[in-house]
Amino acid sequence: MKSTFLTRLPITLFGIPAVIFLLSEGGMIFSGFITIVIFLCLIEFYDLKASSGSRPNKFFGIIMALITCFMYIQFPNSNAVILLSSFTIIIILSLLFEMFSGHQNPLDNVNITLSGVLYVAGLLGAMIALRNWDSFNGSRFTMAMIFSVWVCDSCAYTFGMLFGKKKLIERISPKKTIVGFIAGIIGSFLSFYIMDSVGFIQIELSLSQLLILTFIVGICGQLGDFVESMFKRDAEVKDSGKILLGHGGVLDRFDSLIFTSPLVFIFVSFL
């Protein structure tokens, strides 16, 4: 317990200010950061499946992920024809590569390659578009989302450990409790409520808007965590990677944001 806390500490101490700095810088610095995160998450996602014998094509997957990030950087003014051309050509090339390679289970390999791009880059990449939308607002909205995810995770962890008994979905995640899940939702609501009241989020939000954000971060974010647990369980591994000391892999750290980022971006697009 203590050793986990201590190994986690350096990443936490360095990570939080680093993310705040990158967020407030925005532009190509933040887009580049998210692109690197997507790159690392995608590699971990592919390695999860590789550990159970499949052979996703990392090369084509990464190229498609880069195109997706590029689309989000220009969103919604991307050139539809160039996007379509790039995706079509990469999909066809990856199918042909699989055919000529003579690997076992070619269809599975292509399926993993393509769906990894949709799951990781398609969903998480929306954070680039969200931050770009947020420019006029000093990136406060994106920061509020990330803070709320952190508060939600911490509340779920702490209250779950202290008071949680009944498990939520034991089959998928043997540690997560109902108490923790509810504490996460309340934590997420309170964090948004406080940030809104003190004027941190520079846009004034109605109660129903606060509740939608709570639904996205408190419920969908935690479910994103569950989905990633399901992937790991499927691959029979504990952590998605080891790159972040004590925090597991990059995918473990960004699993909630994979669900919350595109949903919050959709929310602000209709604001």
Where on the chain is the footprint of its own copies (CB under 8 A)? 48-49, 75-76, 78, 80-81, 84-85, 87-89, 91-92, 95-96, 98-100, 102, 105-108, 110-112, 114-115, 118-119, 122-123, 126, 169, 171-172, 220, 223, 226-227, 230-231, 234-235, 259, 262-263, 265-266, 269-270
Two structure tokens written together for 243: 């790159």
Report the nearest approach of its own copies to the CB of residue 91 (Å): 6
Report the nearest approach of its own copies to the CB of residue 1 (Å): 28
In the complex with its own copies, which residue's Cβ is closer, 42 or 195? 42
Report the nearest approach of its own copies to the CB of residue 195 (Å): 24
Two structure tokens written together for 264: 């919050």
Alpha helices in the chain (DSSP H): 2-25, 27-50, 58-74, 80-101, 106-116, 126-133, 140-163, 178-197, 207-214, 222-235, 250-269
- Contacts of 239 by beta carbon, 8 Å cutoff, 6+ apart: 232, 248, 249, 252
In the complex with its own copies, which residue's Cβ is closer, 196 or 252? 252
In the complex with its own copies, which residue's Cβ is closer, 211 or 235? 235
Q: Of 201, 45, 30, which Cα lies nearest the Cα of 119?
A: 45
- Contacts of 235 by beta carbon, 8 Å cutoff, 6+ apart: 48, 49, 51, 52
In the complex with its own copies, which residue's Cβ is closer, 197 or 269? 269
Report the nearest approach of its own copies to the CB of residue 42 (Å): 14
CA–CA separation, 267 vs 67, rounded Å?
24
In the complex with its own copies, which residue's Cβ is closer, 4 or 101? 101
CA–CA separation, 40 vs 80, rounded Å?
27
Report the nearest approach of its own copies to the CB of residue 204 (Å): 23
